[in-house]
Amino acid sequence: MLLWRGAEEVSRGTGAASLGHPAIAVAWLANTARSFGRPLRSGEIVLSGSLGPIVPVVPGDEFTAEIGGLGRVTAVFG
């Protein structure tokens, strides 16, 4: 994943950065939640982790993200 604010690259990362693989991160979450007596339940939304470092957003920012195999998306924050 690559993320640009305008023409400046501001974040870069891979799914493997989340405990080696996003599925491993979800398995860790499921096991840890169960050990605390709060198992994951059917229908709950689970996010496996960020693909890169989070950056602050201010009004007027234009971000473009490129995710390998999926393409690009651009968002403008007002």
Q: DSSP label at 66?
A: E
pTM of the predicted structure, to 2 decimals: 0.66
Report residue 29's pLDDT band, with 50, 70 and 90 as the boundaries.
very high
The rounded distance, in Å, linking the Cα atoms of 78 and 68 is: 27
pLDDT in tens, 31-74: 999 999 999 999 999 988 777 888 999 999 999 999 888 999 99
Confirm if 13 and 22 have CB atoms less than 8 A apart. no
**For the chain, how many residues are written?**
78
